[in-house]
Amino acid sequence: SKSEIFELLQKNWGGYFRQYQMALNELTSDFQIIDLDWKSRYGYSPIEHMKSRIKNPLSLLKKIEKKNIPFNQKAVQEQIFDIAGMRIVTTFIDDVYMMKEHIEKREDIRVMRVKDFIQNPKPSGYKSLHLVVQTKVILADEILWVPAEIQLRTSSMDFWAATEHKLNYKYEDGEVPADAKQQLVDLAASAFQMDKQMSLLRNQLLK
Ligand code: 0O2
């Protein structure tokens, strides 16, 4: 039953999902190093801040049900890629694509899929660039390539997403009023306007 699976997930969280924590340790360290390197090289880093999370058991269970995935480790690993999640928030839109190019060049990260919700926003107005990756994790006597999702977005996109998430939380099982949805779409456009103007200003100042 659902509650049994849920209990099982919670109990086995530590062991079952250890590899995902390892992947997040790797990714966090990778981008901390990039941040330091950028600062020492140029006195400026494109990374505003970053955050990692392991998908919570309830959210994972919902996804398993929604996608109709059989509940075993192999199936889950092959079909759900965002158990380990890393979010990198940048200053400018260009930084998002610069980070993407950097990640694509790394030998310890394999990019499996790119979902560009900046070019093609979600109906909600959500913008971000998602990379489904595999992260190299070196164990005592084997090498793992652990699935993870890296979300790249600007501060402005991050502000919108965090606020929208909070506003929608209340309606988890119901429908958000159409008018509120439209306002959120408009707010996403305003947030993007700010990103574009910041880029223009930067280009002016760099000339
Ligand atoms: P949580 O709590 O972080 O787990 P997929 O089947 O995986 O290819 P899916 O599930 O649509 O497709 O994945 P996608 O779109 O790549 O990423 C889903 C994640 O993107 C969400 O995580 C959010 O972090 C973010 N996201 C997507 N759409 C929205 C949106 O409209 N508003 C906000 N605020 N965030 C969004 P989870 O799984 O919802 O949450």
Per-residue 3-state assignment (H helix, E strand, C coil) for 157-180:
HHHHHHHHHHHHHCCCCCCCCHHH
Task: List the Cα angle 82/64/26 in 5-degree steps.
Answer: 20
Cα(174) to ligand 1 centroid in Å equals: 18
pTM of the full predicted structure? 0.92
Do 99 and 154 touch, CB atoms closer than 8 A? no
CA 183 to chain centre: 24
CA dihedral 46, 51, 55, 59 (to 10 degrees): -90
Determine the pLDDT at residue 51. Answer: 98
Residue range 119-167, pLDDT digits in tens: 999 999 999 999 999 999 999 999 999 999 999 999 999 999 999 999 8
Per the listing, tokens 């990260």 go with 109
Determine the pLDDT at residue 71. Answer: 76
Asked if the model's pLDDT at residue 7 lies above 80, the reply is no
Q: Using pLDDT thresholds of 50, 70 and 90, give the confidence band for residue 57.
A: confident
Active-site choice (48, 65, 149, 164): 149
Predicted complex: ipTM over 0.85: yes
Q: What is the largest CA-CA distance in the chain?
A: 63
Determine the pLDDT at residue 12. Answer: 66
Cβ contacts of residue 153 below 8 Å, gap of 6+? Answer: 87, 88, 89, 90, 96, 118, 127, 128, 129, 161
Asked if the model's pLDDT at residue 90 lies above 90, the reply is yes
Facing residues of 131 across strands? 114, 150
CA dist., res. 108 & res. 89, Å (int): 21
Q: Which residues have C-beta atoms less than 6 Å from ligand 1? A: 55, 59, 82, 85, 115, 122, 124, 126, 130, 161, 164-165
Active site includes 149?
A: yes
* Protein residue whose Cα sits closest to atom 13 of ligand 1: 82
Strands (E), 68-142: 84-90, 109-116, 129-138
Do 125 and 189 touch, CB atoms closer than 8 A? yes
Task: List the Cα angle 58/155/98 in 5-degree steps.
Answer: 100
Q: Which two tokens stand for residue 129?
A: 């660039």
Determine the pLDDT at residue 14. Answer: 61
Cα(126) to ligand 1 centroid in Å equals: 9
What domains are defined for the chain?
2-156 (3.30.460.10)
Asked if the model's pLDDT at residue 15 lies above 70, the reply is no
Kindly state the average pLDDT of the residues 45-74: 90
Ranked by mean pLDDT, which of 12-16, 62-66, 88-92 comes out on top? Answer: 88-92
* Protein residue whose Cα sits closest to atom 11 of ligand 1: 122
Cα(40) to ligand 1 centroid in Å equals: 34
Q: Using pLDDT thresholds of 50, 70 and 90, give the confidence band for residue 174.
A: low
Determine the pLDDT at residue 22. Answer: 96
Determine the pLDDT at residue 10. Answer: 67
